[in-house]
Amino acid sequence: MWRLYGTLGVAAGLTAYLGDLRLPWSIAVGVLVAAMPRFLIGAIRGAATPSAAERRTELMSGTDFEDHVARIARRAGVPVIMTPLTGDWGVDLIVGRRPHRLAVQCKRQSRPVGAGAVQEVVAGAPMQDCTQTMVVTNHDFTPAARKLAELHGCVLVGGAELTRLGPMIRRLVTPDGVGQ
């Protein structure tokens, strides 16, 4: 790709020189044209750089991410049960007390989370005696996951919303707002 940008820069500089622009200005035009696409790509990537909290979750394993979400829930003042790694019916964490328990599926991924995670937690919640569902990820969700979650009343919490996870959990598992 850099060869293409370089060729465009040389062509632009040559065109500027042939168009009666002095040599230093022609070189400047060529350098600007060659560097501009890389500069714009870098600027766009820089704008999408994750925050310190998001970078911290990017480095975690899936189990570490589950622990992280459990700590957030505990700091919100609600009990947390971590399910076993196998046989959990698609529920990683059980948050709160009966009858207002929340089934949480945690997904630490490098791409958007799909509808499968929503299906798992929605199907597993009754097996774990939970009345509400949530999927938490460090990333984002696909449109299919969002639609399925909306149909089933499943709360989705993506990377940018992780900072508000504690209050969201407390609100969901506290009956009638008591204790807030």
pLDDT digits (tens, 9 = 90+) for 121-150: 999 999 999 999 999 999 999 999 999 999
Total number of residues shown for the chain: 180
Q: Taking a C-beta distance cutoff of 8 angstroms, is the pair 146, 72 a contact?
A: no
Tell me what the pLDDT averaged over the chain comes to.
Answer: 83
pTM of the entire predicted model: 0.67
Left if phi > 0, otherwise alpha if psi is -120 to 50, otherwise beta: which for 84? beta
What is the percent of the chain with per-residue pLDDT over 70, rounded to a whole number?
A: 83
Cα separation, 105 vs 63, in Å, equals 12
Q: Tokens at residue 97, please? A: 């007390």
Q: pLDDT (tens digit, 9 = 90+) per residue, 153-163?
A: 999 999 888 88
Other beta carbons within 10 angstroms of residue 28's beta carbon come to 14
Cα separation, 15 vs 30, in Å, equals 9
